[in-house]
Amino acid sequence: MNNTLSVYLAIAAMALVTFACRSGGYLLFSRITPSPWLRRALAYLPGCIFIAYVVPALMSGPPQNWGGAAATMATMALSRNVGLSIAAGVIALFVIDGAAGFF
């Protein structure tokens, strides 16, 4: 197959599948009436989905990332400011890396 065409077909396939993921869950749930139990379970989803993303990502990265995450969390808990919290995490990593280089 033509190389350029195959790249665009792959991109189109990825875009289609991704849109199906984004809209599919909503479509499914708008057609059924979720039971009270299911609705209770869904209420736990936001926290669980993010913790399920964050913890393995931290465990597979370098150990200093835990320091950065702690700085981000503490800043977020105190300020509720996302931008400040991201900056605090990145700055903490610069500081930890700098300190590690110093010793």
Partner 1 sequence: MQVPVIFTQAGFWRGVKRALPLVGGLSPFGFVVGLITQHHGLSLAQCMAMNAFVYAGASELVALANWTHPAPILAAAFAALVVNLRFALMGPVLAPWFAGIKPLPRYASLAMLVDHSWAISVTDMRNGGHDFGLYVGISVPLWLGWMAATTAGFLSANTLNLPPNHPLFFGALSAFVALLVPLWRGKSDILPWLVAAGVAVFMAHAVPHTSWYIVSGAISGCITGALLETKRHE
Subset of residues 31 to 70 that bind partner 1, contact rule: CB under 8 A: 34, 37-38, 40-62, 65, 68-69
Q: Which residues contact 58 (CB under 8 A, 6 or more apart)?
A: 65, 66, 69
Q: Which residues contact 98 (CB under 8 A, 6 or more apart)?
A: none
d(CA 70, CA 88): 9
Nearest distance, CB of residue 39 and partner 1, angstroms: 9
Does residue 77 belong to the site contacting partner 1 (CB under 8 A)? Answer: yes
In the complex with partner 1, the residue whose CB is nearer, 30 or 102, is 30
Does residue 102 belong to the site contacting partner 1 (CB under 8 A)? Answer: no
Does residue 10 belong to the site contacting partner 1 (CB under 8 A)? Answer: yes
Q: Taking the CA of residue 8 as centre, how many other CA atoms within 13 Å lie in the half-sphere pointing to its CB?
A: 4
Does residue 99 belong to the site contacting partner 1 (CB under 8 A)? Answer: no
